[in-house]
């Protein structure tokens, strides 16, 4: 069952008339607190530039790679396949790009436009192996659906 409290909180954040970076920070903070997750990042997908760029993050430190090529990392698979990539042990994933040295698992949830093309991503990481079960994944996917307009309105 979805966490309606988190989804309601995200709706309230998106409905406010705030600058996009401020809204993104509030979104990241709300998702991280609901997990509770150690770190959450929101990213834009820039096809023309061939880059994925961080909009905002919530956690103890800025991401190691605030921007990186669209063809690299776990994120590249989420974008190319248009589906969530949930890696329970990043050390065993040859495509993993380091978020933090202590990261053990990471999940990338793409935000898709009406044509099912990734326009953004939710990136959530943990210091625990296999941190994202089916329920966590389903909730993060609900968040991505709810946040589609946040990304669409930026285009």
Distance of CA 151 to the CA centre of its chain: 12
CA distance 1 to 13: 22
Tokens standing for residue 136: 């966590």
pLDDT at 96: 84
pLDDT at 47: 95
pLDDT at 155: 61
CB atoms within 10 A of CB 132: 23
Peptide bond just before 60 cis, omega within 30 deg: no
pLDDT at 101: 80
Mean pLDDT of 96-102: 79
- Reported as a single tens digit per residue, the pLDDT across 70-95 is 999 999 999 999 999 999 999 898 88
């Amino acid at each position: 069952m979805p966490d309606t409290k988190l989804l309601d909180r995200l709706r309230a954040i998106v409905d406010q008339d705030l600058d996009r970076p401020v809204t993104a920070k509030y979104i990241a903070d709300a998702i991280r607190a609901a997990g509770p997750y150690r770190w959450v990042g929101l990213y834009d997908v820039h096809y023309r530039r061939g880059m994925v760029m961080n909009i905002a993050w919530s956690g103890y430190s800025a991401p190691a790679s605030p921007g990186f090529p669209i063809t690299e990392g776990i994120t590249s698979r989420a974008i190319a396949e248009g589906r969530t990539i949930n890696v329970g042990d990043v050390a065993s994933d040859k495509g993993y790009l380091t978020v933090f040295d202590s990261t053990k698992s990471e999940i990338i949830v793409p935000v898709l436009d009406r044509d099912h093309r990734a326009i953004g991503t939710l990136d959530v990481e943990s210091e625990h192996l296999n941190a994202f079960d089916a329920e966590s994944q389903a909730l993060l996917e609900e968040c991505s659906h709810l946040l589609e307009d946040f990304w669409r309105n930026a285009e």
